[in-house]
Amino acid sequence: MRATLEGKRVSRISVRGFAVASATAVTTVGAVVGVAAGQPASVNAEATAADATIADIPAGAQAQVQTASLTQQADDASTQADAAALKSAQEAARKAAAETAQSKKDAADEAAKKAADERKEKALAASRSASRDVGDLLGKSSYTVAETQALARQMMAGDQFQCFSNIVDHESGWNYRATNASSGAYGLVQALPGSKMSSAGSDWQTNPATQIKWGLNYMNDRYGSPCGAWSFWQANSWY
C-alpha cells in the first residue's frame, strides 16, 4: 500500500488551515490520514485528525476536504445572513410598534383636546345664555316663583342651589315680599332687619335678584356655602 501511495501524486496540506472546516471534513481528513499511515479502519479518525498538524493527503481527498470546507463556509454565511435578517426584522417590528404607539397617543391627545374644547364652548354658550336669561328677568315689576328660582339657579354653583332652595323654602316659600310680622324679617331669606339687604342694592324690597345676591353672600361669609348654611339650619332650625 505504501508503494501505491508513493506512486500517486500526493500533496501536503494543513488540516488547521481550514479554519471553518465542518465536522464531516475533519472526519474525512482523519480517515484519509489513517489509511495513508496504514492504520486499521477501526482507529478513531476524528481523534487522529485532531492530533495531526500536517497530513499527506491524495489529491482526490484534498478535493473532498475543500468541498466540505466550502460547504461549511456557505452554511456559516447562511447562518449569519439569517441572524442579520432576524435582527433587521426585530428592529423593524420595534420601530413599527413605537410608531403605532405614538400614533395612538397623538390620536388620544387630539381627541381629549377636542372634547375639552367642546366642553369649554358649551360652558361659554351656557354662560352667555344664562346672562341673557338674567337680563330678560331683571327690571320686571313682579316675579313668579319659577322666575325667582331661575334667577337663583343662574346666580350660584349648580351643586349649591338645592341647599339654598331648602332654606328659602322654609324661610319664605320663595315669596320675595314675605314679611315676618313679629320680627320684621323680610324677603326670600328673611333678612333681619330687611334693610340689611340694601348693601346688595337699593331695590332690595322689590327685586328678588338683589335678595338672592345678599343671601348668597351671607351664607358664604358665615357658613362657607349655602350647603354649609343648610347643615346648620337642619341642626338649629335657623341660620
- Give residue-wise pLDDT tens across range 183-205: 999 999 999 999 999 999 999 99
* Last-in-domain residue among 73, 108, 125: 73
CA dihedral 157, 160, 161, 162 (to 10 degrees): 150
Look at residue 114 and tell me if it is in a domain: no
Look at residue 82 and tell me if it is in a domain: no
Look at residue 131 and tell me if it is in a domain: no
Q: Are the CB atoms for 67 and 85 separated by under 8 Å? A: no
Q: What is the pTM of this model?
A: 0.46
d(CA 148, CA 179): 17
pLDDT of residue 180: 95
Look at residue 191 and tell me if it is in a domain: yes
Look at residue 175 and tell me if it is in a domain: yes
* Last-in-domain residue among 73, 92, 119: 73
Statement: residue 128 has pLDDT above 60: no
pLDDT of residue 57: 57
Look at residue 100 and tell me if it is in a domain: no
Range with lowest mean pLDDT among 22-26, 114-118, 172-176: 22-26
Please compute the mean of the pLDDT values over residues 51-65 and round it to a whole number: 59
Q: Name the H helices within the chain.
A: 2-7, 23-36, 45-51, 59-137, 145-154, 161-171, 208-223, 226-236
Statement: residue 93 has pLDDT above 50: yes
pLDDT of residue 118: 79
pLDDT of residue 11: 44
150 and 67 within one domain: no
Range with lowest mean pLDDT among 70-74, 142-146, 154-158, 170-174: 70-74
Please compute the mean of the pLDDT values over residues 154-180 and round it to a whole number: 97
Give the range of the structural domain holding residue 230, as residue numbers without chain letter. Answer: 145-236
Question: How many independent structural domains does the chain possess?
Answer: 2
**Residue 87, all three cell numbers:** 435582527
* Last-in-domain residue among 36, 51, 73: 73
Which residue has better confidence, 60 or 56? Answer: 60
Look at residue 112 and tell me if it is in a domain: no
pLDDT of residue 117: 78
149 and 232 within one domain: yes
